[in-house]
Homo-oligomer: A and B are copies of this chain.
Amino acid sequence: MLLNVLEVRAKTNETMNEVSVSNFEEGRLFDFGITLLSEEDIIAFATAFDPLDFHIDKEKAKKSYFKGIIASGAHMFTKVHREKWIPLFKDTVICGIEINNWKFLKPIYPSQPIHGVVIITSIKRNPEHRHVVINWRYEFKNTENEMVQCMEMLIMHKID
């Protein structure tokens, strides 16, 4: 069940027709491995989208609640989703429906290793309309295996 992303990618490239979303089951997990955000990337992302002092200003960040620069809440998900999930599933997407329970539980610091997985927590099949609606739950944990962030996205996918 626990595949690293390279295995997932290899498998997907080889057998995407077999491993189509129509065969997915609840509980299936995709392991997206470890992701780090550099301080430079954190500052660039937050400058563009979320320019709070504790994301972009080292000196002010030191005096903040977090005692240093931390990543914008959306940054880790945005990067992992773009780099890991999108290449696997983008051609199956009809539309996004909802995002829920996106919880920012602990700060993410520059160069902190964060382990990301996504788990299928529900599938509603609608074969008449040749689609399925999947609830994908992202979980991001630190090296102590503590959850630092989670979120759920409900996506409608084509089936063959």
User: Do B49 and A78 touch across chains, with their CB atoms under 8 A apart?
Assistant: yes
- A94–B101 Cα gap in the complex (Å)? 20
Are the CB atoms of A96 and B73 closer together than 8 Å?
Answer: yes
Task: Answer whether A82 and B52 are a contact pair too, CB < 8 Å, given A73-B96, A98-B103, A99-B102.
Answer: no
Write the A32-74 contact mask toward B (1 if CB under 8 angstroms, else 0): 0000000000000000111111000000000001100000011
**B94, A65: Cβ atoms closer than 8 Å:** yes
Interface size on A, residues (CB 8 A): 29
Residues of B within 8 A of A78 (CB): 49
In the bound complex, residues from chain B placing their C-beta under 8 Å from that of A52 are 86, 90, 93
Which residues of chain B have C-beta atoms less than 8 A from A66's C-beta?
95
Contacts of A53 in B (CB 8 A): 90-91
Q: Which of B48, B95, B98, B103 contacts A65 (CB 8 A)?
A: B95
Q: Which 9 A-B pairs have the closest CB atoms?
A: A99-B102, A73-B96, A96-B104, A98-B103, A52-B90, A100-B100, A52-B93, A49-B82, A65-B94
